Chain A
């Protein structure tokens, strides 16, 4: 599974980082979400899906 953040759409709500801590991270300086590696680690699939669902901007997409 892969997860992608569209940083042009992200407005820094940070709700995704509560849904998928460690996977979705928040930039210290710009406050926007990012992932270090788009490949979702095993066991984090539900968190990645929840991160996408909890984004008010629709900035996060998950491909199975």
Chain B
């Protein structure tokens, strides 16, 4: 076993990393697969498929817990490095506390539940394209891929749908800013949104809606009722997980199909290929490049010794391009099989919303390939995120296509301006809006 830590100057939030994330991961994996970075107080970074997979599946050694107080002398800082402002809920909890909430939430994310969300999702995708299709131009991020995940997430939670734009904007801004003043402002905006959501949670105590929140206010979780604050924390975790992630996957896939007309034509000719191809896009364009754990006990990885309290970054995106696991690892192979990618993680913290993500992806991509199959992206105008440590996505992606006809003419749900009625209005207003919004989607 090595006694010296192999130190690398790795920072997943840096501009250097954002400029060439895949190459940086390739260099680490081939040169130093269990490396130690001194940044953010020090952490290990894992880039080999088998190491990442093994650590993700061993929650007893590699904990997701976030706790304000040290436990047995170990500080637990959750699943991001550095920790973001605010607790991510279930994702930063381990068994036994994790079990009741995961058991409670699982049915809302099941294949059957996702099927029930599909009609509204399809209508919104049609509405998004209706807004731009006659002009022959679109800003794919703002006009198309940002809206659907936010709308579907709010619909699932049973929160006012008119928060969708606000929700999409603040999560988007919070994910692409590196740690610093911009990020602090973005998270402050995010918490303003949570204040509004808290009002709706309180309102649903009297009139529970049909979504996750309505069930959380009226049922017990593991033998007790959650407080409003605890329910807001659940919402917060699900919004962070649900909103910018699928957006990122769609943007990368749209760019790939712009650059590779042969792949685009294959998907147009054979729509049945889309589910398998979606897994390949997830592998190649992993939206969340890495998440963290805390080491609970002395452990060995590679030839390194890890100590209790050590922080560990599991680089899903690096694992997903490991040539020891995947042939032609740096190529998109639409019908790749087997493809045991880790884009949704692995083990018991595996993404609870993966069926929804796949459904959103299929709906939006299907709509694009059907209605604007000749779209071309202006690559000079395409702007990747300045920091990709949280989500690897795009800010802008202008596109042109042959204009087509409006299909439904039904508008998207109205969007409440960001920052409005954060304090005024109160529970009554929030409740009324929630009722209206839900009425519109049933």
The answer on A and B forming one complex is yes
Asked whether A13 and B110 contact (CB < 8 A) given A18-B279, A53-B338, A57-B57, the answer is no
Contact across chains for B355 and A54 when beta carbons are under 8 A apart:
no
Extra 9 A-B pairs, beta carbons < 8 Å, given A12-B350, A56-B340: A11-B350, A13-B340, A15-B279, A18-B276, A27-B111, A30-B107, A56-B53, A56-B342, A56-B346
Task: Indicate if A26 sits at the interface (CB-CB under 8 A).
Answer: yes
B39-85 residues at the A interface, CB under 8 angstroms: 53, 57
Complex A-B: 17 CB contacts under 8 Å: A11-B346, A11-B350, A12-B354, A13-B344, A13-B354, A15-B279, A15-B338, A18-B276, A27-B110, A27-B111, A30-B106, A30-B110, A31-B106, A53-B338, A53-B340, A56-B346, A57-B346
The interface residues of chain B lying within 8 Å CB-to-CB of A30 are 106-107, 110
Interface size class of A (residues with CB under 8 A): 10 to 19
Asked, given contacts A50-B337, A50-B338, A56-B53, whether A14 binds B355 with beta carbons under 8 Å apart, the answer is yes
Residues in B whose Cβ lies below 8 Å from that of A19:
337-338
Asked if A55 lies at the interface with its beta carbon under 8 angstroms from chain B, I say: yes
B87 touches A (CB below 8 Å): no
Q: Mark A1-35, 1 if CB is under 8 A from B, else 0.
A: 00000000001111100110000001111110000
B100 touches A (CB below 8 Å) = no
Nearest residue, chain A, Cβ from B349: A11
A59 → chain B closest CB, angstroms: 11
Residues on B lying within 8 angstroms of A by beta carbon are 53, 57, 106-107, 109-112, 275-276, 279, 337-342, 344, 346-348, 350, 354-355
B110, A56: Cβ atoms closer than 8 Å = no
Chain A residue, CB-CB nearest to B53: A56
What residues of B have a CB within 8 angstroms of the CB of A29 in the complex? 107, 110, 112
Q: Is the CB of A18 within 8 A of B110?
A: no
A3 to B260, CA, bound (A): 38
B112 with A28: CB separation less than 8 A: yes
Q: Of B111, B275, B279, B347, which contacts A57 at CB under 8 A?
A: B347
A57 to B350, CA, bound (A): 11
How many angstroms from the CA of A15 to the CA of B338 in the assembled complex? Answer: 8
Q: Is the CB of A18 within 8 A of B340?
A: no
Evaluate contact between B338 and A54: CB separation under 8 angstroms. yes
Q: State whether A55 touches B340 (Cβ < 8 A).
A: yes
- B354 contacts across to A, CB distance below 8 A: 12-14
**Closest beta carbon of chain A to B271's beta carbon, Å:** 15
In this complex, which of B57, B111, B339, B346 has the most chain A Cβ atoms within 10 angstroms of its Cβ? Answer: B111
Contacts of B109 in A (CB 8 A): 31
- With most chain B CB atoms within 10 A of its CB, the pick from A13, A14, A54 is A13
Query: Among B110, B338, B355, which residue has the most Cβ atoms of chain A within 10 A?
Result: B338
Chain B residues near A57 (CB-CB < 8 A): 57, 346-347
Q: Which residues of A contact B107 (CB under 8 A)?
A: 29-30
Q: Is the CB of B340 within 8 A of A31?
A: no
- Residue of chain B at shortest CB distance from A21: B275
**Residues on B with beta carbons closer than 8 Å to the beta carbon of A15:** 279, 338-340
Report the bound CA distance from A58 to B355 in whole Å: 20
Partner of A28, one of B110, B279, B341: B110
Minimal beta-carbon separation of B241 from chain A (angstroms): 15
Q: Is the CB of B110 within 8 A of A31?
A: yes
Task: Please report the C-alpha to C-alpha distance between residue A15 and residue B340 in the assembled complex, in whole angstroms.
Answer: 7
Nearest Cβ on chain A to B424's Cβ, whole angstroms: 41
User: Across the interface, do A11 and B347 meet the contact criterion of CB distance under 8 Å?
Assistant: yes
A11 pairs with B348, CB closer than 8 A: yes
CB of B39 to closest CB in A, whole Å: 29
Give Cα distance in the complex from A24 to B350, angstroms. 20
Is the CB–CB distance between B106 and A56 below 8 Å?
A: no
Given A11-B350, A12-B354, A13-B344, verify A31-B339 contact (CB < 8 Å).
Answer: no
